[in-house]
Amino acid sequence: MPSNIRADTPYTKNTYTDASGSQVTIQNSFPKGGLRYTDPHGKAYVYAVFWTHIINETAQPFNLNIGFPVDSIELTSSPGSYFRILLPPDTMTTGKTSMFNYGLPRMELFLDTALLTPSTLKRTIAPHDSSAFYVVTLANQWVNGTLRAGLHMEKGKYYYVINGMKMYCGEVDKGFVLQP
């Protein structure tokens, strides 16, 4: 199976199958970071960095198109914690798994520019290939307990799940269902 991320590092690994039996696997990481960030106007935040790795085992290109709004959302498991999901344009690679923030460069510059814009990501993953990308959670305060997050497919839709709370983030272009 082609992979540019070590298979022993994901927090979740889910395989989805379409009607023809073709498979796509989505892996999501544990968080790194959890540091403080202050925006150019003096407002304080905390952030964590995750990665998501999609492995296309089909004979067709797999199109990923996800997005998140500018508005903050209250995390239901941590009342008073409001967060945003940000999608840096950088690509995650194997050599970055052990690095601080998974090797995501220029974090403060990215956060300064991403604060006021919706986050979107469009990628086409070639047949029998894979792609990994970063996800940054930015919150007004620490969450209650441990932060866990990841991308999932369900009934033709993408959801990003943070500590059990599902956020719709796009439509799947093919009919994949989770393998039991």
> Per-residue pLDDT tens for 10-32?
889 999 998 889 999 999 999 99
- Token digits of residue 128: 């029998």
Whole-angstrom distance, CA of residue 85 vs CA of residue 68: 6
Model confidence at 72: pLDDT above 50: yes
* Encoded tokens for 137: 């959670």
Q: Quote the CA–CA distance of 72 and 84 in Å, as a whole number.
A: 5
What is d(CA 48, CA 33) in angstroms, rounded to the nearest whole number? 5
pTM listed for this prediction: 0.90
| Residue-wise pLDDT tens digits, 106-121 | 899 999 999 889 999 9
